[in-house]
Amino acid sequence: MTIDRIVFAVAGSFILISLLLAHYHSELWLWFTAFVGANLLQSAFTGFCPMTIILKKMGFKSGCAF
């Protein structure tokens, strides 16, 4: 699995989990959803995502996006 696919899978999972938490617990979890979405948006323009640094150090193979 490449870094690109891991980042997209983790971001999608975080968004879905935070939406569930916002629905069942507190709407404050929507701020976490907004943070993940904003990070995805800025990485689309800059090509930089903090998670990629960690994944590269762990030895995962780079994809074409990061």
- 3-state secondary structure at position 2: strand
Structure confidence at residue 56 (pLDDT): 95
Contact 32, 13 (CB under 8 A): no
Q: How far apart are CA 10 and CA 51, in angstroms?
A: 10
Structure confidence at residue 22 (pLDDT): 97
Output the tens digit of pLDDT for each of the chain's 66 residues. Answer: 999 999 999 999 999 999 999 999 999 999 999 999 999 999 999 989 999 999 999 999 998 887
CA angle 19, 14, 49 (to 5 degrees): 135
pTM of the model: 0.85
